[in-house]
Each structure stands twice: as structure tokens, then as C-alpha cells.
Structure 1
């Protein structure tokens, strides 16, 4: 049986973000990078079955920024990996600040690291 590389939603969003960045569309690229990080956090939360976070989502009906923040903190604790908080901070900066292309490139690498971590933990492979 051959190996199949599955791409997560985060992987697809990263690729789209990179394409927007190449075209010089910093706004669209920023939105896609943030969304990639958000999807990575959701994937990890579901994969690690963080029931209290999933219950909050069910009660509110959506993933609010507050729930995502709580998920990041819980993921960091569960995985004993403080990098997750720092990587998520980059996603929030990308979402909330009007970054130059040069700074976006730097912050996007941190988002890429978060996505790769989620892929690794959930057995997805990034092409």
C-alpha cells in the first residue's frame, strides 16, 4: 500500500496565502495566513479531543477569538509546548496589524510552523 499525503485545510490556506503574497496582495495574504493558523488550532483541538473547548464551541455556535485563545492555552499545556502560544501571537498580529510585506513574510513563517506542528501531530504531511 502506498503512502498518501493528505493536506489539511491549513495547508491549502497556506498555499493560497503564499500565492497572494507573491502577487503583492498583502491584505488577502494576511487573511489567508490567519485563517491557516485558525484551522491548525481547530484541527489540534479536535485531534486531541479538548472537550471543554469543543463544548464552548457547541454552546456559542462558532469559534470566537476568545475560544481560539483558550484552545491555544490548553493546547500549549497539554502538549507542554510554549511555542504554540508564540506562534498563535503571530497569527493574531497578522490579523490585527497592517503589516508591510517584509514583516508579513517573517510572521507568516511562524504561522507555517504552527501548521506544520498541527500536521505532524495529526499525521498530515505537507507537500
Structure 2
């Protein structure tokens, strides 16, 4: 949870300064870290074996984990899709305005807070 909080704090600071690119990426990183933690907590064996085999987390593996987690933690997959939009459109493409970043950020942070007890 420490990394998640750190990413969220950094994201808030970037957003306060109007840096939507870096804010988007930090919110995404918080969500990514949450998916990894939850995959371990919920012992998603197929996902963890895939990560071990490939030597790293890939986008497809994170999406698979989020889909699997959603049955136990409703809203996780939607949170992940919103985080991915921040990553792709906010960070890589720089195509999100500040209002959209705020909207997506809220959807990501709300779910992270909802499942905070599962992340510690």
C-alpha cells in the first residue's frame, strides 16, 4: 500500500500544478500496483504463473488479473480500464484535458479507497 499512496500523492501534486501527463501516469501506476498486490492476495495462480514465465507483468496479464479480480472485488476491472485510459490517452497521447483527468482519477481513486483494506 505504501507504493500506492506514494503514487497517489505524487499524482495529486502533478495535478495541482496542471501537469496532466505526469498525473495520469502516477494514477495509472497506483492502479497497476493495486492489481499486482491483489493478484497475490487472491492467489491468482494462472496470472502469477504467466508473470513468472514471461519474467514481467504485461498489459494483457494486468487486464486478465483485473477481470478475474472483478468477481470478488466489483468495480476493479472498470477501475483498471479507467487507469489504462489515463496511461494511454493521458500519458502516452497527451490527449486528455484536465477535467477528464480529474474524472478518471476520481473513478480510479474511489475504487482504490473502497478496497483499501485488501491492499494493506
TM-score by length of 1: 0.84
Correspondence for 1:109: 106
| More helix per residue | 2
Residue by residue over 1:10-69, the C-alpha shift from the partner in whole angstroms, topping out at 9 and shown as x without a partner, is 111011000000011111111101111100111111111111111000001111000000
Bigger relative contact order, structure 1 or 2, given CA contacts below 8 A and separation 6+? 1
Structure 2 gaps, min length 5: 90-94
Counterpart CA distance in 1 for 2:16 and 2:49 is: 39
Q: CA RMSD of the aligned region, Å?
A: 1.3
Structure 1 gaps, min length 5: 1-6
TM-score by length of 2: 0.89
Aligned positions, number: 115
Structure number with greater Rg is 1
Correspondence for 1:28: 22
Runs of 4 or more, structure 1, over 2 Å off, are: none
